């Protein structure tokens, strides 16, 4: 699969053109006939105009930016100038068009990247499966009878299929890390508040973050830096890698468990106290904040919401304020307790999902010996990390010919650089890395 850093280098050097790259990717997307249910809108005229602008900049001898000519897509909750921001819902299909792009899109355009598509999601980002009543279910490129995960499933699927070098999603309780794990690519949830959220349809303000999907650590780090991450030079002492114990050792695939223990060696297990309580508090905060966002629309016409989303939003809007306040108070206490963990570790290891991708026709998974809905529980290992606001990078275990499965690398606040270093080290050792699905578009330079 061709990577963003490679495309940008070729375009900046004049060895190919942004227009040629865009036409190549548009042709591949068209040929795919949206078989994965990942794309909600193609933005062809804009993409061609942006590519022409990049080529004109190169021809004039100026630098078009570190992502010159690189095509990408965004989850269908980013503002795109001239289009309604639907957040995956029929409710806003005919809304007034956005007056301007989301800040993240503006920064990517300034860096030379070219917006090509908006991408499928769970309605209002409320779910871990990308089962959408309007746009259909997003399918996993490794096995199109299986889920791609969610809620940023479309953003993960287009990258895993090789149709776009990178994409943007959002992560509230695991909505980047879950689909990255199930589709076998990299996905970053940054430190809470690190990257610009302006112009992104909200879900739960306490947890909402945006982040990139890509097929290499280098691409993830580059997009993160363009969006506003700090990659300034700093001392790089040996990484201290630990492994999370307790509930993170339950509901885990043997391959994940073996990889974690291999990577961390004889490092002692680190327990997050009250993890189950943290996940419950995260559910309360998410439901309450999500319900408040949609309270007025629910009162006006609740029946236009996806039934799978509507009842949870109504329940959240009816939660007593006292319960929400108690959950937030516990969150502050829980987060303070984490400071001691990172006094001795730079990176902590945990599973990203409890299993490989479930079947679309039977979207259930096993948790604690019982079958539960995938849409609810695929985030069992990611939700407690979102609760803390810590950065986490999903990395794919290297397992060619098998369904993908990922780990989470979890860092201290603003510790993304340590995550990228650890991910690069694991890739060099052959423990992690992307194994493209059969039939993936490999790209190339024209």
Rounded distance between C-alpha atoms, residue 48 and residue 171, angstroms:
30
CA atoms within 13 A on the CB side of 86: 25
Please say if 170 is a catalytic residue.
Answer: no
> Within the chain, how many helices (H) and strands (E) appear?
15, 17
Residue pair 422/347 in contact (Cβ under 8 Å)? The answer is yes
Is 333 an annotated catalytic residue?
A: no
| CB contact at 8 A, 399 and 255 | yes
One of 19, 32, 151, 216 is an active-site residue; which one?
Answer: 151
DSSP state of 305: S
The number of beta carbons lying within 10 Å of the beta carbon of residue 15 is: 10
Angle at 414 between CA 324 and CA 218, to 5 degrees: 125
Active site residue 151: yes
Residue of 75, 89, 181, 412 marked active site: 75
Q: Which two tokens mark 328? A: 């937030």
Measure the CA–CA gap between 225 and 188, rounded to whole angstroms. Answer: 12
- By CB atoms closer than 10 A (0-12, 13-18, 19+), residue 83 is middle
Closest CA to 71 of 28, 122, 15, 124: 28
Q: How many alpha carbons fall within 13 Å on the CB side of residue 417?
A: 12
Strands laid side by side in the 209-214 sheet? 39-42, 114-119, 71-75, 166-171, 209-214, 186-189, 392-396, 406-411, 347-351, 241-244, 269-270
Per-residue b or e along 29-45, where b marks 16 or more CB atoms closer than 10 Å to that residue's CB: beebebebbbbbbbbee
Q: Of 19, 89, 175, 386, which residue is the catalytic one? A: 175
Catalytic residues: 75, 151, 175
């Amino acid at each position: 699969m061709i990577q963003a850093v490679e495309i940008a280098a070729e375009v900046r050097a004049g060895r190919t053109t942004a227009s040629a790259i865009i036409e190549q990717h548009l042709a591949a997307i068209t040929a795919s006939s949206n078989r994965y249910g990942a794309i909600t809108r193609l933005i062809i005229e804009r993409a061609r105009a942006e590519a022409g602008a990049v080529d004109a900049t190169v021809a004039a001898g100026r630098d078009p930016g570190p992502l010159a000519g690189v095509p990408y897509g965004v989850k269908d909750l980013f503002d795109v100038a001239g289009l309604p921001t639907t957040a995956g819902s029929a409710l806003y299909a005919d809304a007034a068009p956005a007056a301007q792009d989301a800040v993240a899109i503006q920064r990517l355009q300034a860096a030379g990247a070219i917006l090509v598509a908006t991408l499928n999601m769970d309605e209002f980002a409320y779910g871990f499966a990308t089962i959408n009543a309007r746009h259909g279910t997003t399918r996993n490129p490794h096995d199109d009878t299986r889920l791609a995960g969610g809620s940023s499933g479309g953003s993960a699927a287009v990258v895993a299929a090789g149709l776009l070098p990178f994409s943007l999603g959002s992560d509230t309780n695991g909505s980047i890390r879950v689909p990255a794990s199930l589709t076998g690519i990299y996905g970053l949830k940054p430190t809470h508040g690190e990257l610009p959220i302006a112009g992104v349809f909200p879900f739960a303000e306490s947890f909402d973050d945006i982040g990139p999907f890509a097929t290499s650590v280098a691409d993830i780090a580059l997009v993160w830096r363009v969006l506003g991450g700090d990659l300034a030079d700093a001392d790089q002492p040996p990484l201290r890698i630990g492994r999370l114990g307790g509930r993170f050792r339950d509901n885990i695939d043997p391959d994940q468990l073996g990889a974690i223990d291999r990577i961390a060696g004889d490092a002692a297990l680190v327990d997050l106290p009250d993890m189950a309580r943290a996940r419950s508090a995260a559910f309360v905060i998410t439901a309450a904040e999500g319900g408040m966002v949609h309270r007025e629309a629910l009162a006006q016409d609740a029946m236009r919401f996806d039934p799978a989303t509507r009842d949870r939003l109504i329940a959240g809007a009816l939660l007593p304020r006292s319960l929400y306040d108690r959950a937030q108070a516990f969150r502050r206490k829980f987060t303070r307790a984490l400071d001691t963990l990172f006094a001795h570790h730079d990176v902590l290891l945990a599973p990203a999902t409890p299993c490989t991708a479930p079947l679309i026709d039977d979207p259930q998974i096993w948790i604690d010996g019982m079958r539960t809905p995938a849409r609810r529980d695929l985030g069992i290992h990611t939700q407690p990390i979102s609760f803390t606001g810590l950065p986490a990078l999903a990395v794919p275990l290297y397992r060619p010919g098998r369904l993908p499965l990922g780990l989470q690398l979890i860092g201290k606040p603003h510790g993304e650089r340590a995550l990228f270093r650890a991910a690069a080290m694991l890739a060099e050792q052959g423990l992690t890395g992307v194994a493209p699905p059969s039939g993936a578009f490999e790209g190339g330079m024209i």
